[in-house]
Amino acid sequence: MKPEPLKKTAWNLALLGFLPFAALSIAMLVLGPQHPLFDVLSDAFRLYGAVILSFLGGIRWGLALNTEPASPRTIAISVVPAIIGWLAIFIPPVFSVGVLLLSFCAQGAWDSTAFHAGKGPIWFARLRIVLTLLVAGAHVVALLALK
């Protein structure tokens, strides 16, 4: 696949991947904590966040394995998002969403810095910045709904 179709596919899939964050956080805010589906929406939001955080760590793992020499430190750090996401599921929702928000921001900063340093295509750094801002915004909406 040539770079432009790959870039377009990645952007499209990334934006589609953002839709559950947007839909769930807005639904939580609109319905409010008293609605019978609120807890299900909150759980779905947090679980989706943990899964996506794990996915982002997996991207870094793959990139670390693909560089010469491979960095054991980067490989080790790349599993941290999955662990944080998993642990966040077990704490109260408002703290969980806060932890996920901070984790997505940290992961986005790490990714952007690495790609600007030449560890991957620069267009991916831009994608990560945009998605980090969108996902962080959805987490802020979810936090507002939880308060």
In a domain, 7, yes or no: no
Residue type, 129: I
In a domain, 31, yes or no: yes
In a domain, 3, yes or no: no
Please classify residue 77 by burial: count the beta carbons closer than 10 Å to its beta carbon, then call 0-12 exposed, 13-18 middle and 19+ buried: middle
Q: Which pLDDT does position 67 carry in this prediction? A: 78
Domain count, the chain: 1
What are the tokens at 107? Answer: 């992961």
Alpha-carbon torsion angle 23, 27, 33, 39, nearest 10: -50
In a domain, 12, yes or no: no
In a domain, 100, yes or no: yes
In a domain, 4, yes or no: no
Strand, coil or helix: what is 24? Answer: helix
Q: Average pLDDT across each block of 10 residues of the chain; the chain has 147 residues. List them in order.
A: 84 97 98 98 98 95 83 90 97 98 97 86 93 98 96
Domain assignment of residue 48, given as a range: 17-146
